[in-house]
C-alpha cells in the first residue's frame, strides 16, 4: 500500500470515527428508545436516498438504535431542511443532503427558511456525485457532438433539457453548454430524481442530473449518457466527458 493511499484511508477512518462520536454525543441526552430520523429532501429511489438508506443501516448497528429514513421531497431539499430546523435539538433528527440545498439555494433564494451556518452543524461528508447529460433512446444523437449538431439542424439551435431542481448544478451546466455551443437550451424542472423515468413518456428528451439517478434504465437500451463531469469516467458510461477545473470553470 502506498503512502498516499495509507494517508487517504487514515483520513477516512478518522472522519468516520468523528462522525460516529459526534452523533453519539448528540444522542446521549435523548431517550434511548426513540428512533433516529434521517431526513432526505428528495424522493425515494434517487442517489441521495440510496446513500441515506445505506448510512441508516450502519448507524443502526453503530448506535444500537433504530434509524428511520424519512423522505421530505420538495423545493430542492428546502422542506427537509426546514423540518430539521423545526425539530427538537435532542440529536434524534439528522439531515442528509448535498451542496444544492446547503450551498446553492441560500445564495439564490431570498428566504429559503434556514441559515445553514447558524441553524445546522455539519458532521461529515459521505459521497460525491457525477453529473451526466443523457438523451432518450429515440434521440438520433449517439454522442455529445452529434447532439449539438442535431439540435442545430432540427431545432434551429433550440432545445429543452430536464433538470431535477431550479438553480441546481445541472441547470448551471446546461446554461454553460448553451453558451459554449451557441444553443438556446430551455430548462424544464422535473419532479425529483426518480421521476426522471418520465423521459420515456413524452417529456423532454434530454436530462442533466446526477449519474446515479439515470443509469438504472440503461441496460434496457432506453437511454444513453452523453457526457459527465468532474473528470471521471463512471462505470457503464462511454461518452465524451465534461471536465470541471478547480476554479469552477468548465471544459465541455
Tell me how far apart the alpha carbons of residues 168 and 108 are, in angstroms, rounded to a whole number. 10
Tell me how far apart the alpha carbons of residues 59 and 116 are, in angstroms, rounded to a whole number. 23
pLDDT tens digits for the chain (252 residues)? 444 444 433 433 332 322 333 444 455 544 556 899 999 998 999 888 998 999 999 989 988 899 999 999 988 899 999 999 999 888 888 999 888 899 999 999 999 999 998 998 888 887 887 888 888 888 898 889 999 999 999 989 999 998 877 888 889 999 999 999 999 999 988 765 544 444 433 445 555 544 434 333 333 333 444 554 444 444 433 333 333 333 333 344
Q: What DSSP string runs through 31-65?
A: -TTSPEEEEESS-TTSHHHHHHHHHHHHHHHHHTS
List the one residue out of 73, 91, 66 whose CA is nearest residue 82.
73
CATH 3.40.190.10 fits 131-251, yes or no: yes
Helix (H) or strand (E) holding 88: none
**pLDDT tens digits for range 65-106:** 999 999 999 888 999 999 999 998 888 889 998 888 999 999
What's the whole-model pTM score? 0.65
The CATH number of 3-119 is which of 3.40.190.150, 3.40.50.300, 1.10.10.60, 3.40.50.10860? 3.40.190.150
CA atoms within 13 A on the CB side of 99: 10
**pLDDT tens digits for range 35-67:** 999 999 989 998 889 989 999 999 899 888 999
Give the contacts of 77 (CB within 8 A, at least 6 positions apart).
41, 42, 97, 98, 100, 101, 105, 165
Q: Where in the chain is the domain with CATH 3.40.190.150?
A: 3-119
Q: Where in the chain is the domain with CATH 3.40.190.10?
A: 131-251
Cell of 148: 449539438
Amino acid at each position: 500500500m502506498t503512502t498516499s493511499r495509507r494517508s487517504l484511508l487514515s483520513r477516512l477512518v478518522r472522519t468516520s470515527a468523528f462522525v460516529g462520536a459526534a452523533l453519539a454525543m448528540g444522542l446521549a441526552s435523548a431517550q434511548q428508545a426513540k428512533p433516529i430520523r434521517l431526513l432526505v429532501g428528495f424522493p425515494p429511489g434517487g442517489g441521495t436516498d440510496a446513500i441515506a438508506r445505506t448510512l441508516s443501516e450502519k448507524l443502526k448497528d453503530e448506535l444500537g438504535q433504530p434509524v428511520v429514513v424519512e423522505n421530505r421531497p420538495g423545493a430542492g431539499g428546502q422542506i427537509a431542511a426546514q423540518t430539521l430546523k423545526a425539530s427538537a435539538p435532542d440529536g434524534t433528527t439528522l439531515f442528509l443532503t448535498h451542496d444544492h440545498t446547503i450551498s446553492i439555494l441560500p445564495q439564490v433564494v431570498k428566504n429559503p427558511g434556514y441559515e445553514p451556518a447558524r441553524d445546522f452543524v455539519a458532521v461529515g461528508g459521505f459521497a460525491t456525485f457525477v453529473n451526466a447529460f443523457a438523451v432518450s433512446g429515440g434521440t438520433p444523437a449517439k454522442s455529445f457532438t452529434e447532439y449539438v449538431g442535431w439540435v442545430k439542424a432540427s431545432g434551429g439551435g433550440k432545445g429543452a433539457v430536464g433538470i431535477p431542481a431550479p438553480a441546481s448544478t445541472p441547470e448551471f451546466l446546461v446554461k454553460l453548454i448553451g453558451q459554449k455551443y451557441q444553443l438556446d437550451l430551455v430548462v424544464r424542472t422535473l419532479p425529483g430524481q426518480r421521476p426522471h423515468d418520465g423521459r420515456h413518456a413524452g417529456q423532454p428528451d434530454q436530462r442533466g442530473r446526477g449519474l446515479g439517478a439515470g443509469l438504472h434504465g440503461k441496460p434496457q437500451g432506453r437511454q444513453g449518457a452523453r457526457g459527465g463531469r468532474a473528470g471521471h469516467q463512471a462505470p457503464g458510461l462511454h461518452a465524451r466527458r465534461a471536465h470541471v477545473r478547480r476554479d469552477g470553470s468548465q471544459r465541455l
